[in-house]
Amino acid sequence: MLVPLAVGLSYAFRDLVLLDPDSGGFVGLDNFRTLAADAAFWNALGNTVTWTVSSVVLQFGLGLVLALLLDVPFRGRGLVQALVFLPWAVPSFLSGLDWAWLFNPVVGPLPHWFVALGLMTTPDNLLSSPDHAIWGPIAANVWWGVPFFAITLLAALQSIPPDLYEAAAMDGAGAVRRFRAITLPFLAPTIAITIMLRTVWIANFADLIVVMTRGGPADSTQILSSYIFTQAFQRLDFGYASAVAAVLLVLLLAYAAVLVTLRQTFLARR
């Protein structure tokens, strides 16, 4: 793990263009100076925040709702669980391809449904609109990632002793009070670690965007991880791509450090 990481970071300080035989020399901080003045980088950074925050919030919210529903015994619960967890087993490439077809008005139903609901005036492809295209991959990512939260939160819910709920109910606590006093405190450690992991994964996750939009139209769906892919494997500029990757690494490490610190502070106060 450490050797590829060190080698990759070293590329950020070199002029390394794959098809240029004269490249490879040490350039110091030149790649980072170029990055600081690169409007495409700052646009990708803003898109990364929108992509990551929206995906994590929606995945967590829907995953928590599903976990609470699946924690209640009912006939056919095993089948419903299998159907809920099915998206997590679908390869991300296939998921992105399917959702791209769903948004295509020629073969997909979604544009026509949007017109019927009054959300659109004509059945246009959402992925072709610079103002709204980012929400196509977000929708696909939410569908694909909700099972992760549902699975982990359901496992945490099932570890809570039922006696606690029975005692709270006998004391007159309603459903909302039991959720706030018992469920959330027991789920807090799982919520913290799953949100941290999922945030890091989503920020680094470019598969759906590369498959569905390739960062377009007009870079409206370009995030940092897809921008790294574009620089490295389309423009073959591994030096500049590594500089962008180094910035993303630092940002994610800082985020993880803050979240871990907050979690430890919360546990210490308890």
The alpha carbon torsion through 167, 173, 177, 182 (nearest 10 deg) reads 0
DSSP assignment letter at 109 = S
Please compute Rg for the chain using Cα positions: 22
Residues 125-167: pLDDT tens digits?
A: 989 989 889 999 999 999 999 999 999 999 998 888 888 888 8
Say if CB 239 and CB 14 are below 8 A apart.
Answer: yes
Which has more confidence, 242 or 260?
Answer: 242
Residues 84-108: pLDDT tens digits?
A: 888 888 898 999 999 999 999 999 9
**How confident is the model at residue 270, as a pLDDT?**
63
Write down how long the chain is. Answer: 270
pLDDT over threshold 80, residue 121: yes
**How confident is the model at residue 88, as a pLDDT?**
86
Taking all residues of the chain, what is their mean pLDDT, rounded to a whole number? Answer: 90
> Can you identify the CATH homologous superfamily of domain 39-238?
MetI-like (1.10.3720.10)
pLDDT over threshold 90, residue 182: no
Mean pLDDT of 249-255: 93
pLDDT over threshold 80, residue 263: no
Mean pLDDT of 55-70: 94
3-state SS of 27-57?
CCCHHHHHHHCCHHHHHHHHHHHHHHHHHHH
What percent of the chain shows pLDDT beyond 70? 98
**How confident is the model at residue 59, as a pLDDT?**
96
Cis peptide before 217 (omega within 30 of 0): yes
